[in-house]
Chain A
Amino acid sequence: MSIGRNAPGDHRTGAMGRTLYDKVWDDHTVKGYPDGSCLLYIDRHLVQEVSSPQAFAGLRQAGRKVRRSAANIAVADHAIATGGARRLAPDGLAALQLRRLEDNARDFAVPYIPVSDPRHGIVHVIGPELGFTLPGVTLVCGDSHTCTHGAFGALAFGIGASECEHVLATQTLRQSRQKRMRVRLEGVMPDGVAIKDVSLALISRIGTGGGTGHAIEYAGSAIPALPMEARMTLCNMSVEAGSRVGMVAPDERTFAYLEGRRMAPRGVLWERALDHWRGLPSDPDAVFDRDVAIDLGKLAPYVTWGTNPSEAVPVNGRIPDPASETDAGRRGRLARSLDYMALEPGMRVEDIGIDRVFIGSCTNSRIDDLRAAARVAAGRKVSARVRAMVVPGSAAVRMQAEAEGLDRIFRDAGFDWREAGCSMCVAMNEDRLAPGQRCASTSNRNFEGRQGVGGRTHLMSPAMAAAAAIAGHLADVRSFLS
């Protein structure tokens, strides 16, 4: 991988080419302020149960309305159960949160998708499925993984509840333009290496703050062949590198995915949209403030061993030793991670035994992800020491997987086949780790307690998680594919 810093250009003069990010930004600038910040128009807002109650409460308190109800979709994904009686009849605090979302959607005329609806799913999975997510739009959600939608060439970023309230009331946000960073993916991924491995390799090299202050654009010769699912995974993980924005320029693959979807434009509007979208890719002479290149051909499957996503190594590697770290701060951080994760310096990654497997989340719960995991699970059995679950990202993914017989493959292998939701990515529903349990997970964060108090998370690709489920320990999926 090479990293270069380019001379920063003034992107506002119009004298040089513009990036994809700048084009969408410029299209949405309502006005500029003297300090260089802008009032940015927001086309789309996904509303979920965790970050919206306080925003609606604020509107009520001030007697304000939602400016443009139809620009929103409300859906519950974080707190819901992924099976059992409590899925449709939740109790306790989760029931109150769900009811609050329903009440707010009704009172403010925001379109709401119930848990029982065939369109239901994780916000970042259903936005694209519905054609709510489109190239060249601005899209926000009170969730950091909103960068997922950048896979379509949308300018999409996560915001807090106060900003949600601002968007609901005004359809705008005051924002400052980010610097631009280009991550070029070159070459072809070897069999067994997935786009998740590219993200983990990138973050392990540039760090969890490597993208801070920058909007990332993923480019390079590997992009055209990447399915939309892979592009979504790639953009989704941008925030784990510190960047709120990760984008891929829209191309024919993007358009083919979107054409005919419920909320995508049709007829003459579709043609006009295509004209506009074809002008969005970064100009050849556009300048990026920072350039990073990754040779995909040289990558191995990655797993995280620590408590942030940059603490990752190839699966055939070893756990690092704090003693060989010269910087005292980094040494302390490393030791703390190893202590929380109950790992010994120098041990082989493949010797790490696991208790649970989670295949799902807004990062890796789409149909291609399930196909990759099923390919490994087919004809094999989940280790007796492991409890493994597959949680499709949406009702549509679940139906498609069942139509392809993937559910059968998973069930026969001993995986639990669940219904859509954030599930064990975030410990605020029934799916969570018990203290001390170790999980091979396709989610996005291995933070302390993220999957449950005292739980230990190893992030990896869906195929790698399936391999771990079968082996009972972290395992190199490449040995399962021969």
Chain B
Amino acid sequence: MTPFGRVKSVAAPLPESDIDTDVIFPARFLLLLDKAGLGKHLFNERRYDRAGKPRPDFILNQPPFETARILVAGQRFGSGSSREQAVWALADFGFACVIAPSFGEIFYTNCFKNGVLAIRMDETSHRALLQASQAGDIVTVDLERQRVSWTSGAVSFDIDAYRRRALLEGLDEIAQTLSDDSGAIDDFEARWSSRAPWVQIEGQHAAPDGGKDTP
């Protein structure tokens, strides 16, 4: 994962609440198998009309926001489906940071796995930032200093220390778990399988015999 640098950009305001992951990335595009190139389907139904032409009233079709790297979203942004495609599409479009009063939990986690910084912001600061975004202010997000600033304001934000480090260093979390914790996982497995041997299913699944077939 690419390390997260400072982001300085216009911020696209999308204040509507409850933008779920079906709106961010409609289900029919989930048939695509790759992470790359999904940005063109981001907010598909909001962004394009039925003929595929950009809707001029949608914020990402309006200059200067089509190049925004920061999205200022509404409450519970990314609720619903666990589809990580929603984050891949945002990142592919060019977003490095999403700021909202609250997020869908799985979406929030998915952001950090893909180098996208998700910031929970209190509603008062969020309102001020939204106004600045709508005015086309250049917004700076500094993860190192945990600060968002714009022409007339600035606010600090909280973030889990591990997630912050993972973003700043572009950490490969799987590699880290494998290198740091493999021994602990081995030990746990040995302990757990002697304490709860019924949990182990090696060999059982293939057994075609027996077992009730009632639903």
Contacts and interface: CB of A to CB of B under 8 A. Distances in A.
A96 B32 CA distance: 9
A287 B92 CA distance: 44
Interface string A172-189: 101010000000000000
A37 B22 contact: no
Contacts of A37: 160, 162
A242 B17 CA distance: 14
A376 B80 CA distance: 31
B109 A163 contact: yes
Interface in B158-215: 160-162, 173-175, 177-178, 181-182, 184-185, 188-189, 192, 196-199, 201-207, 210-215
A449 B22 contact: yes
A114 to B, nearest CB: 14
A170 B188 CA distance: 12
Contacts of A282: none
A447 B173 CA distance: 33
Contacts of B80: 144, 239, 445, 447
A396 B207 contact: no
A380 B206 CA distance: 44
Nearest to A425: B27
A15 to B, nearest CB: 23
Contacts of B142: none
Contacts of A31: 181, 184
Interface in B79-133: 79-84, 87, 102, 104-106, 109-110, 113-114
Given A50-B83, A269-B198, A308-B20, A169 B106 contact: no
Contacts of A83: none
Given A169-B174, A170-B185, A450 B22 contact: yes
Nearest to A243: B105
B53 interface: no
B45 A449 contact: yes
A445 B202 CA distance: 36
B118 to A, nearest CB: 13
Contacts of B114: 162
Contact of B79 (A96, A209, A262, A276): A209
Contacts of A77: none
B174 A161 contact: no
A35 B158 CA distance: 14
B51 interface: no
B113 A162 contact: yes
Given A118-B213, A144-B81, A261-B212, A427 B35 contact: no
A289 interface: no
A30 B160 contact: no
Contact of B105 (A33, A166, A242): A242
A162 B84 contact: yes
Nearest to A67: B185
Nearest to B32: A93
A428 B30 contact: yes
Size class of the B contact interface (CB-based, 8 Å): 35 or more
A209 B109 contact: no
A212 B184 contact: no
A11 B163 CA distance: 24
A244 B105 contact: yes
B48 to A, nearest CB: 11
Contacts of A308: 18, 20, 79
Contacts of A366: 215
B26 interface: yes
A388 B207 CA distance: 38
B174 A64 contact: yes
Nearest to B166: A174
A400 interface: yes
Contacts of B210: 260, 262
Contact of B181 (A100, A130, A162, A172): A172
A142 interface: yes
Interface string A411-449: 000000000000000111000000100000000010111
Interface string A124-160: 0100011110101100001110000000000000111
Contact of B196 (A130, A136, A263): A136
Contacts of A450: 22, 27
A64, A132, A453 — most chain B CB neighbours (10 Å): A453
A161 B84 contact: yes
B174 A208 contact: no
Contacts of A82: none
Contacts of A244: 105-106
A143 B82 contact: yes
B20 A447 contact: yes
Nearest to B165: A35
A195 interface: no
A134 B28 CA distance: 33
Given A70-B201, A160-B82, A170-B174, A276 B196 contact: yes
A130 B192 CA distance: 22
A111 interface: yes
B213 A396 contact: yes
B32 to A, nearest CB: 7
A228 to B, nearest CB: 10
Contacts of B22: 445, 447-450
Nearest to A164: B84
B31 A111 contact: no
A22 interface: no
Contact of B177 (A73, A160, A174): A174
Contacts of B160: 35, 37, 176
13 contacts: A37-B162, A39-B181, A97-B33, A111-B206, A134-B198, A161-B84, A170-B185, A262-B205, A263-B211, A329-B17, A399-B213, A427-B26, A447-B80
Given A35-B160, A160-B84, A308-B18, 20 more contacts: A30-B185, A31-B184, A39-B177, A43-B199, A62-B174, A64-B174, A64-B178, A93-B32, A96-B31, A96-B33, A137-B199, A165-B174, A171-B189, A174-B162, A269-B197, A276-B196, A276-B198, A426-B27, A445-B81, A449-B45
- Sorted from nearest, which 8 A-B pairs have the closest CB atoms? A262-B211, A265-B198, A162-B113, A93-B31, A160-B110, A160-B84, A397-B215, A273-B198
